[in-house]
Amino acid sequence: MASSRITPICLLVYLCFVGMFVNSVLGAKARHFKWEVEYMLGAPDCLEHVVLGINGQFPGPTIKARAGDTVVVHLTNKLHTEGVVIHWHGIRQLGTPWADGTASISQCAINPGETFIYRFKVDKAGTYFYHGHYGMQRSAGLYGLLIVDMEEGKKEAFEYDGEFSLLLSDWWHKAFCLRKAKRKKVEACGNGEINNLNKAGSLLINGRGQYNCSLAAAHVSKGNGCRFRGNEECAPNILHVKPNKTYRLRVASTTALASLNLAIGNHKMVMVEADGNYLEPFSVNDFDIYSGETYSVLFRTDQRPTDNYWISVGVRGREPRTPQGLAILHYQSTTASKLPTLPPPQTPRWNDYAYSKSFSNKIRALSGSPKPPFNHDRRIFLLNTQNRIDGYTKWAINNVSLSLPPTPYLGSIKHRLTNAFDQKSPPDTFLNTYDIMRPPPNPNSTYGSGVYMLKFNNTIDVILQNANALNANVSEIHPWHLHGHDFWVLGHGEGMFSKRDEKKLNLKNPPLRNTVVIFPYGWTALRFVTDNPGVWAFHCHIEPHLHMGMGVVFAEGVHLVGKIPNEALSCGLTGKMLMGKQHN
């Protein structure tokens, strides 16, 4: 009779087979990273400056994962005097609201010398990025790309032969707080009058730009030409392509202030993805991208293969005082050192809002994408105004300027610490007699830390209403970003939103986004479902505007949130609560 004993070799083969089977069924992996955040010297635009880096890199390392993977980041704060957090922009944090990386909302800031472990699932393929969400650390360089590919064995809705990624940012030679330090009525960095800084030193593409010299000097009337050996930190990005191929270009904007426009000389582009969601494809010569947005475009290398071509990035939405950022599209049939013979594509005029609105109105969801519920359960109107508090310039929503508390909302609501923040709900609307075309008659506002408590699994409409700022005839662009959710963009419009505008809302094929722009003197309507337990920020993604109060906080189903790591709640009243439990 044959022995039933399993030999070591058979066991090894069996385990390998089981491992392969489980891996093929589950597919997903845990991807681990150990990061240290610290200041370093760098010259991203050829001028040496202090930069916030990760593991000695600027921008930070690119995370690449597949949908369904779990990302685990051990983040150590090597800064000597500052806390730090990182927000994973566009990742919905399903089941892990404490990993959203928003100081005072989802977690405590990570203190100097401490390590915090972010653990979250990337549930959907798309183009994303990460950035600091504490003080003004994004403008100091704390950001990087997060690319999520399709699950193994699945295909995208479009085909291409290769891909590139561009991370766009504006670069400041002095910290916001230092630039204002010589003026009167100044607060600390991240809290003061910092909205009037229109002039970044340069625009960066993947952390590279040129200050006080021009790559395209042969095509401009003034400016010194840049001279590079090719190994400089500020040498231009070069995208190497083969003729007659189709490439995917992923683009993300992490600017602190600037709205941008991107073009590739002589090449048309087809828009196919926005914020991790498929679009009905449409062709463009260039496209606007606002802070917090991401796109994927396809382009065909069908131009003269003996030439190279400029990729240009220029400022939109405010009068540009910063030159274009430039990169080079290199056809490998010629030399990479050969500069393009044609001038860089011209950026559309900064205040041609009709051009911008035309582009935004073309963005539609791909057929078969999820559609919004037909009706809403609650509608919240958010009036965006510039105001003053105790002589300081602030931004306010329904006349309330957001002031974040020392205890994270997620912990204080979960543990019912009612004295941790203002229990009075912010207003759902504003007076319909408010004249959005004029400066506020009473510019004074108030601070508030209240929360919009939303019923779980409800459909919420938000109408973002723009208005005149403190100065006459000034209304700014504001890109708004929602944490923890995608939302449907139902439409944009001119002037004050009214009942007549209900008929304009698109319920047929509105795009799903996590960031949306509101144009000067206009409105933007969006809809989302409160199906993700947690506490979520909704704010203007212009960094100084947020820190001057331009945001609100939504809470939904917090009682359904599972265990929150103690390290996320180690400050404020939740910190005291945890210490009390340890002593008992």
Using H for helix, E for strand and C for coil, what is the string for 123-184?
CCCEEEEEEECCCCCCCCCCEEEEEEECCCCCCCCCCCCEEEEEEEEEECCCCHHHHHCCCC
Of the candidates 190, 157, 159, 166, the residue with the CA atom closest to the CA atom of residue 176:
190
Could you tell me which residues are beta bridge partners of residue 331?
A: 241
Would the pLDDT of 359 be above 90?
A: yes
User: What average pLDDT does range 170-198 have in this prediction?
Assistant: 46
pLDDT of 488 above 50: yes
Q: Count the neighbouring beta carbons within 10 Å of the beta carbon of residue 423.
A: 11
Q: 104: closest CA among 514, 480, 553?
A: 553
Examine the pLDDT at 264 and tell me if it is beyond 50: yes
Per-residue pLDDT at 584 exceeds 80: no
CB 523 within 8 A of CB 467: no
Lowest mean pLDDT among 3-17, 153-167, 283-297, 445-459: 3-17
Q: Are 548 and 401 within 8 A, CB to CB? A: yes
Tokens 């204002």 belong to: 180
- Pairwise pLDDT comparison (258 vs 201), residue with the higher score: 258
pLDDT at 11: 40
Mean pLDDT of the chain, nearest integer: 91
| 281: number of Cβ within 10 Å | 15
Q: Which is nearest to 242 in space by CA: 182, 308, 175, 301?
A: 301
DSSP 8-state secondary structure symbol assigned to residue 236: P
Report the pLDDT value the prediction gives residue 222, as an integer from 0 to 100: 63
Among 227-231, 250-254, 431-435, 556-560, which is the least confidently predicted range?
Answer: 227-231
Helix (H) or strand (E) holding 11: helix 8-26
Instruction: Please say if the pLDDT value at position 365 is more than 80.
Output: yes
Pairing of strands 202-205, 487-494: unpaired
Is the pLDDT higher at 84 or at 9? 84
Residue 348, CA distances (Å) to 94, 318, 319, 331, 340 in order? 39, 12, 12, 26, 20
* Of 398, 366, 369, 394, nearest in space to 381 by CA: 398
Q: Does pLDDT of 26 surpass 80?
A: no
Predicted local confidence at residue 184, as pLDDT: 30
Tokens 């916001």 -> residue:
176
Q: Which band of pLDDT confidence, cut at 50, 70 and 90, is reported for residue 28? A: confident
- Asked whether the beta carbons of 504 and 463 are under 8 A apart, the reply is no
Q: Which two tokens stand for residue 440?
A: 């506020």
Asked whether the predicted pLDDT for residue 528 surpasses 50, the reply is yes
Return the DSSP state at 568: G
The percent of residues in the chain predicted with pLDDT above 90, rounded, is: 84
Pairing state of beta strands 115-121 and 70-77?
antiparallel
Q: What is the pLDDT of residue 480?
A: 98
- The phi, psi pair for 579, rounded to 5°, reads -65, -40
CA distance 250 to 376: 33
Task: Provide mean pLDDT across the span 45-71.
Answer: 96
Residue 396 has pLDDT above 90, yes or no: yes
Task: Tell me what pLDDT residue 173 has.
Answer: 83
Q: What is the predicted pLDDT for the residue at 182? A: 35
Q: Is the pLDDT of residue 190 over 60?
A: no
Q: Is the pLDDT of residue 21 over 80?
A: no
Residue 14's pLDDT band, with cuts at 50, 70 and 90, is very low
Secondary element (H or E) of residue 528: strand 522-529
> What's the rounded Cα separation, in Å, for the pair 447 and 394?
10
487-494 and 551-556 beta bridge pairing = unpaired
Token representation of residue 487: 């939302």
Q: What is the mean pLDDT of residues 137-145?
A: 96
Judged against a pLDDT cut of 90, whether residue 344 lies above it is answered with: yes
Query: What is the largest distance, in Å, between two alpha-carbon atoms of the chain?
Result: 98
Percent of the chain with pLDDT over 70: 90
The count of other CB atoms within 10 Å of the CB of residue 538 is 23
Long-range contacts of 215-223 (CB under 8 A, 24+ apart): 215/326, 215/328, 215/339, 216/310, 216/324, 216/326, 216/339, 216/340, 216/343, 216/344, 218/339, 219/343, 219/344, 223/323
Please say whether the structural domain 30-152 has been given the CATH code 3.30.420.40. Answer: no
Which residues face 552 on adjacent strands?
538
Confidence of residue 195 (pLDDT cuts 50, 70, 90): very low
Q: Which two tokens stand for residue 128?
A: 């994303």
Query: Was domain 378-576 assigned CATH 2.80.10.50?
Result: no
Question: What mean pLDDT do residues 489-495 have?
Answer: 97
Residue 463 pLDDT exceeds 60 = yes
Average pLDDT over residues 335-349: 94
At residue 197, the pLDDT reads 52
Backbone angles phi, psi at 325, to 5 degrees: -90, 140
Determine whether 531 is exposed, middle or buried from the number of CB atoms within 10 Å of its CB (0-12, 13-18, 19+).
middle
Strands 309-316 and 325-331: antiparallel
What is the arithmetic mean of pLDDT over 346-370? 97
With bands split at pLDDT 50, 70 and 90, how would you rate the model's confidence at 223?
low
Q: Is the peptide bond before 59 cis (omega within 30 degrees of 0)?
A: yes
Weakest mean pLDDT among 161-175, 180-194, 260-274, 508-522: 180-194
**CATH class of residue range 165-175+201-362:** mainly beta
> Can you give the pLDDT at residue 507?
97
Average pLDDT over residues 353-376: 97
Secondary structure (DSSP) of 496-510? S--GGGGGG---SSP
Domain edges within the chain: 30-152, 165-175+201-362, 378-576
Q: What is the mean pLDDT of residues 9-29?
A: 46
Q: Hey, do 30-152 and 165-175+201-362 end up sharing a CATH topology, with the first three levels equal? A: yes
- Between CA 62 and CA 296 the distance in angstroms is 17
The two structure tokens encoding residue 62: 């690119």
Q: Which residue has better confidence, 578 or 535?
A: 535
